[in-house]
Chain A
């Protein structure tokens, strides 16, 4: 059984995504059914030579196929991947749980007449069949799916464990392919990356304390005030999807199934109802503390500690206490 991991190293978070994929591979080696040498090849798309050495030294895979591209344009990448794999496709392809991973998993599987799943948490074999297990119904239930056709292509759920085990470079086999001169896909008339973002997103994902704010905050002005308070308290501020859809906060601060999945020591939710896609983003927190004046809000039963109160009063009091403690 051959298993290949596909990594988008044009993403600033590629190393974390690669470590998640490597950890998944290690944990599911028996289900994937390969020896160490066979399992764990990686095809890595990258742009710009400055990142090449980092990829070679840091990526936790023994066989790495480096593919240089001009920039990560999905149609182009998909065409290149199809070309690279058409003669000898692997049995299983693992894609990271990011936007590019989800897209490639589904489209690549369709091109190779295989089967695909998005956001898989684990895999198992049963009666010779490979099963993918993932959340469904907005995270309320978990479903087991049998893959019906090879190649089995799936992306991982967000926020999986990471493998942080360095492999010495001399034990790695590296091959290089240069597609940087390949012309733009004919459908694209103009292409411009405008913001290399995700500073807020990266800070959210590494924060020890996160204030998570929901629609109940009521306005963009209030969100700005809470960003200042979070900063003063040494916390990061994240928001739920309705806050982003109302344009009260930028997308980088979104927590949830379609935003950041966080795992801080403490997540303090303020005026958050606790819809399943949002909860997906905070459920890996060590401790969840919910402040909400609605004791029927779903978050109340899904938190470790709850305070039924107007969050504005609680956060004002907390700020005063923290300032007093700081002055001591």
Chain B
């Protein structure tokens, strides 16, 4: 079974939570200097793919894992890590185009990759990334490829050819379904999906492996066409104002602070029974 996982390398926005951002040309200046991480939903997608490969290996089934990322040069470091974790091939589409608010373009590149470098049985994606907050790339890719899609995925495995058992959360509750491949799984809040850490030995071994680097043109994705794909164009960015005051409750001990909190703010609200 051939599985493709897409990932996006993003600035760690948790580090900027209490900052007032400077915006220039509709791009926040600060994020360029912030350390990079794998987008959290994509991290879950990668870990669930590894878990699935582990399970298949135990019952003697082969799995080939592929990873694809688009964008900045930081990506290479993360792709090396994935090689160390057991991914067979990693691909970096080297593009300096700003696709943060152009999920249509991202979906078009991913679709072209799937069609040109496939066949793949499964395409696993995160549901949303933290910088664009678009939550559209996986859904647009599903329409481009005309593959079925399951969103909110929390767990999946495949012990039989052409079929994947999937658990996901929906508005109706938890759903267990078996879906025919090829299909797209958009991973949501999946318990137990923090990405594992490679061993030192695996890291050294992966250092010798190459990352496949592609130019967008190799996927028939001309920059001028990609920019035209957006259907909702960003016009302006502004800061979100924080109206809370952050007044500290002072006291000599935790007990004293708790007394003050209770007396002035919680009395009448807590039941104590």
A: which residues have CB within 8 A of B? 8, 10-13, 71-72, 74-75, 98-100, 102-103, 106-107, 109-111, 114-119, 131-132, 134-149, 185-198, 208-209, 232-235, 241, 244-247, 251, 254, 258-259, 265-266, 273-277, 279, 287-289, 298, 300-310, 313-314, 317-319, 321-326
Contact = CB atoms under 8 A, between A and B. Distances in A.
Given A190-B178, A304-B245, A317-B255, 10 more contacts: A10-B171, A103-B139, A110-B144, A140-B21, A145-B235, A185-B148, A192-B175, A274-B17, A302-B17, A304-B244
Contact of B176 (A71, A102, A192, A308): A192
B172 A72 contact: yes
B230 interface: yes
8 contacts: A12-B172, A75-B149, A117-B232, A140-B13, A241-B189, A300-B18, A314-B258, A318-B258
Judged by DSSP, the binding face of A is: mixed
Contacts of A146: 232-233, 235
Contacts of B152: 99
Interface string B135-153: 1100110111000111110
B272 A323 contact: yes
B139 A302 contact: no
B259 A103 contact: no
Judged by DSSP, the binding face of B is: mixed
B interface residue count range (under 10 / 10 to 19 / 20 to 34 / 35 or more)? 35 or more
**8 A-B pairs with the lowest CB-CB distances in the bound complex, closest first:** A322-B272, A298-B17, A234-B271, A115-B231, A317-B258, A313-B254, A11-B171, A326-B272
B191 A244 contact: yes
A298 B13 CA distance: 11
B107 to A, nearest CB: 9
A244 B192 CA distance: 8
Contacts of A258: 127-128, 188-189
A247 B133 contact: no
B174 interface: yes
Given A131-B235, A244-B191, A308-B248, A313 B255 contact: yes
B171 to A, nearest CB: 4
Interface in B2-27: 13-14, 16-18, 21, 23
Contacts of A107: 139-140, 142-143, 149
Interface stretch (B63-71, B78-86, B262-270): B262-270
Given A141-B237, A245-B192, A277-B130, A302 B18 contact: yes
B88 interface: no
Contacts of A246: 191-192, 194
B220 interface: no
A265 B232 contact: no
